[in-house]
Structure 1
Amino acid sequence: MFGMIKNSLFGTSEVWPCRVLRKGEKDDVAYEEREYDGGKFATVELTGKPFDEALHEAVLKLLKYVGGSNDQGAGMGIMAPVCTTVFPGQDGSLQQKVKVLLRIPSQFQASPPLPSDEEIQIEEREGMTVYSTQFGGYAKEGDYVNYAAKLTSTLGNEATFHEDFYFCNGYDPPMKPYGRRNEVWLLKK
């Protein structure tokens, strides 16, 4: 537990490598089209719990893993963002199923430590192109649903993207009170 707290407060923070392909704004919604690198990710999948509760539980597991709860006892540092795959229902609300991803920091990409928690899986994922919009504050389910709807509406027929899932992203530790960064990503088809 101490390793997780130390890593969260004092650990290095690396940002998932990406390239901005284009920027746009329509109806007061700014967005970017970005291309993200693939790599190895620590993942936790949870079902049967409300979004905010599931996200909190999964993030704690992943923070423990990168904080040293692994076969090497390695404090790996933090990789931003914490990326959560969500599945909207017909009414736009989120189903009780999430998959939370944390990209393994660069120095551990070749050979990631094995998690002590059996619910954490290490996955190799391909690169992807997304449409992204950003917002601040302490994001909750309603904020992500709202911004996903805004981005979907803004893109309209101009872009093709997956509609059966999207990504909710948080960049900041919980103890950062101001200047918080959250994003919604729609995966380009």
Structure 2
Amino acid sequence: MDHGGCRLNGGSESDGSSSGGRVGMITLEDLESFSEEQPSDSDNGSLEEEGEAMEEDEQDRLLHYWQDVARGHQVEVPNDMAVPIQQLTTNNEGTHSRERVPFTLITRKEKCGDVLYEKRHYGKANWACITVHEDTYEQSICLGFMKLMRYICQQNSSGNYLGLTIPIITVVRTDDAHSILSRAVTVAYYLPAEHQAQPPQPYDADIIIEEWPATIVYTRAFTGATNEQSIINEINTLAEMLELPTICLNCSFIVAGYTNPAAANRQNEIWFLERP
């Protein structure tokens, strides 16, 4: 596994230590359940103050909501997430408007009408990524996504909201027997097309902008929760389905998440990366 970045060909094992404690499961679909009413422009000072007070109240409401959600995952949302949560909620326009990571379908393996797996080509692209080492997989992706939320929500050199893309991916690492997940988890966000040429730089030094090379990916869809055991099961299932699993089996794999992690019917994919 290469050091120095979270590339598609293996990722980084650099320290991604957390600060301020563990963070909560901020999900994409739940963010859409809130609508924001922006204060209207006015030259009247009292109206401006009233609008600012309403905005602060809304920030508090959203923050408290997500702190309540996080307690169900035994993690914590820090108070400084109030502004990023509100910004992501305000700018989020729905699942169908999110930019998807582009790829070219090469082939699809089917059996009795069911898709077993797909072989895809993903082009070279820039990703923002962070590697963390929490006690559990869920806690690691929580911390990683929270930090990426800050980057997406104006805490970057452009000062602009960058926009959500899907899937949000995590690079996971296993032992040689593919039976145990490492605590090192890399969470990665695909930069929207308009920012690919000149990626805004993160203020958070733990976030790295990496240009990942073009890659062939074998991917299989699955539903439900993602945790240590379910990911190991999906890795072994796809390995059994591939005719030549040795062309892509190593110790690094990708979990791609498309929908709300708290949903009962969560949509995910497991990705194997073809060796160069």
Q: What SS does the aligned partner of 1:143 have? A: helix
Report the 3-state secondary structure (helix = DSSP H, G, I; strand = E; otherwise coil) of the residue aligned with 1:166.
strand
Check if 1:20 corresponds to 2:100.
Answer: no
Residue type of the partner of 1:44?
I
Match of 1:6 in 2: 90
CA deviations 1:118-170 (Å, max 9, x no partner) are: 11111111111111000123322322221111001111536611321111110
Identify the residue that residue 166 of structure 2 maps to in structure 1: 80
Q: Would you say the 8 A contact 2:239–2:245 is kept in 1?
A: no
1:5-84 equivalences in 2 (<5 Å): 5-8=89-92, 12-25=97-110, 30-47=116-133, 49-84=135-170
Equivalences, count: 188
Match of 1:151 among 238, 242, 245: 238
In structure 2, runs of 5+ residues without a counterpart are 1-83
CA deviation after TM superposition for structure 1 residue 171, in Å: 1.3
* Shift in CA distance, 147/7, structure 1 to aligned 2, threshold 3 Å: farther
Percentage identity across aligned positions? Answer: 27
Q: CA RMSD in A?
A: 2.4
Please give the TM-score of this superposition, normalised by the length of structure 1: 0.88
How many Å apart are 1:6 and its aligned residue?
3.0
Answer whether contact 1:68 1:75 (CA < 8 A) is retained. Answer: yes
* Higher CA-based Rg: 2
Once residues 149 and 98 of structure 1 are traced to their aligned partners in structure 2, the CA distance between those partners, rounded to angstroms, is 19
Matched, 1:165 2:249: no
Q: Partners of 1:29 and 1:56 in 2: how far apart? A: 30
Looking at secondary structure, tell me which structure has more strand per residue. 1
The CA deviation string for residues 8-63 of structure 1, in whole angstroms up to 9 with x for no partner, is 56584111010111111469771000111111110101135322111111011112
**Deviation at residue 77 of structure 1 after TM alignment:** 0.9
Which of the two has greater helix per residue? 2
TM-score between both structures, scaled by the size of structure 2: 0.62
Q: Give the distance between the partners of 2:117 and 2:139, measured in 1 at CA.
A: 28
Q: Tell me which residue corresponds to 2:194.
A: 107
Q: Report which stretch shifted further, 108-117 or 178-187.
A: 178-187
Find runs of 4+ consecutive structure 1 residues off by over 6 angstroms.
none
Match of 2:220 in 1: 133
Letter in 2 for 1:125: W
Query: What is the letter of the counterpart of residue 90 of structure 2?
Result: K
Which ranges in structure 1 are unaligned for 5 or more consecutive residues? none
- Residue 96 of structure 1 aligns to a residue whose secondary structure is coil
CA shift in 2, pair 1:158/1:62, >3 Å: closer
Q: Does 1:116 align with 2:203?
A: yes
139 and 154 in structure 1: CA distance in 2 versus 1, 3 angstrom threshold: same
Conservation of the 8 A alpha-carbon contact between 2:225 and 2:264: no
| Higher RCO structure (Cα 8 Å, ≥6 apart) | 1
